[in-house]
Amino acid sequence: MHSAVFLIEFGAIILGLGLLGRLAGRFSFSPIPLYLLAGLAFGKGGLLPFGASEEFVAIGAEIGVILLLLMLGLEYTASDLVSNLKTQYPAGLVDFALNALPGAAAALLLGWGPVAAVVLAGVTWVSSSGVIAKVLGDLGRLGNRETPAILSILVLEDLAMAVYLPIITALLAGVGFAAGSATLAIALGVAGFVLFVALRYGRLISRFVSSDDPEKLLLVVLGLTLLVAGVAQQLQVSAAVGAFLVGIALSGEVAEGAHILLSPLRDLFAAVFFVFFGLHTDPSSIPPVILPALALAVVTALTKIATGYWAARRAGIGVKGRWRAGGTLVARGEFSIVIAGLAVSAGVQPELGPFATAYVLVLVVIGPLTARFTEPVAAYATRRRGAPTPPAAEDGTVLPGAEPATGSTAGPVGADGDGADVVEGRDAAGRV
């Protein structure tokens, strides 16, 4: 009888996720908020609480986090990461200052204490790579000149997570300074070792994993990822970081093949993860925190726009491209929920889970809107002020004493149709 109830519940969850994903696709927005709302509806205090399938959903949610990070790692090579770290670290520092500090300040103002402040700093800091990648594809901006600046911010955030997650894990576990320092040292050592091996022996690793048979490739990559994630967790390093490092170590045809094979699994288990987070959030606990969550969402949406604008300006992108870069970075999603989920599991602050849910729901909904409309709104505001159009050279560089008026340089018109250049040397997935 128990197994029958489990099958009914879990089947209903998967079917419901499929229908919600189809609904989101019809209106061209991310399904993440719908998944979270579904979890709220069927969790504690919801309309129809589930019970029999909860343990299985918890395991599926953990696999979902691992696959999210693996797929993220497959997007980059070790050389890409090292290059971005060397050239774009100022943008990463600005990103941290403008977006992590407001979250920490909000937690302290709410009286939640220093550990919750570190957690909420991570929630507000990291943009959603999944949502942003989808938005860039939907808007036809993968080849725009500002896209490398956006990807650089995302890469630096991913690298920072390799350090941040072990720190937050140690803090949530309540270990002492010595144990926490040892955990961080192990995490940095493991990350550095994997990057070194990936740079030096990445081709050999990829050749070992490679297979012309999709079934064998899937089994080897998935098995290796889960194994490394488990070992990382045993070493007090986040399983998610272990999965991310596996993705970095794989490159070339292996990475492309694994990406194609694992994408459906990633989407399935990631959806289960978002539902699981919602299942453990009581809907009645959201109204008391909705106003501060909304206020923080507005503040950090503006700071993300400022971050993208600054990073694109530093990269020599014109004004339109700067606004597009800023608006694209607004969305928060999977990483924010992962971080909040760790805190909820550790029982740090009861209000943190509902607060993070409301915060992510707001920004994952308005993120695609800011990506689409920040630049035209900024252009309209500029025209309303009657600002003169500054001169620019034919190649799009700024003339002395002036700033470029557009986000374009001379060259082919991009897919967004406003003169944004298509970046040479980028593949169909938008990777550099």
Selection from 69-73, 144-148, 294-298 with the highest mean pLDDT: 294-298
Would the pLDDT of 415 be above 90? Answer: no
pLDDT at 413: 37
Would the pLDDT of 181 be above 50? Answer: yes
Average pLDDT along the chain: 77
From 47-56, 89-98, 268-277, 327-336, the region with the lowest mean pLDDT: 47-56
> Could you tell me the pLDDT band of residue 99, with boundaries at 50, 70 and 90?
very high
- Note the pTM of the prediction, 2 decimals: 0.70
Please write the tens of the pLDDT for every residue from 256-309.
Answer: 888 888 888 888 887 887 777 777 777 788 888 999 999 999 999 999 999 999
User: Helices 252-279 and 214-234 sit at what angle, rounded to 10 degrees?
Assistant: 60
CB atoms < 10 A from the CB of 244, how many?
31
- The most distant pair of C-alpha atoms in the chain lies apart, rounded to whole Å, by 78
Pair 245, 205: CB distance under 8 Å: no
Would the pLDDT of 212 be above 70? Answer: yes
For residues 52 and 125, the model is more confident at 125
> Could you tell me the pLDDT band of residue 107, with boundaries at 50, 70 and 90?
very high
DSSP assignment string, 181-243: HHHHHHHHHHHHHHHHHHHHHHHHHHHHH--SSHHHHHHHHHHHHHHHHHHHHHTTS-HHHHH
For residues 337 and 404, the model is more confident at 337
pLDDT at 249: 81
Through-space distance between the first and last CA atoms of the chain, rounded to whole angstroms: 53
Would the pLDDT of 406 be above 60? Answer: no
CB atoms < 10 A from the CB of 299, how many?
17
pLDDT at 328: 93
Beta-carbon-side half-sphere exposure of residue 80 (alpha carbons within 13 Å): 25
From 141-155, 316-330, 400-414, the region with the lowest mean pLDDT: 400-414
User: And the tokens for 142?
Assistant: 């993968």
pLDDT at 401: 44
Buried b (16+ CB within 10 A) or exposed e, 377-413: ebbeeeeeeeeeeeebeeebebeeeeebbbbbbeeee
Would the pLDDT of 10 be above 80? Answer: no
pLDDT at 245: 78
Range 405-429 average pLDDT: 40
pLDDT at 169: 75
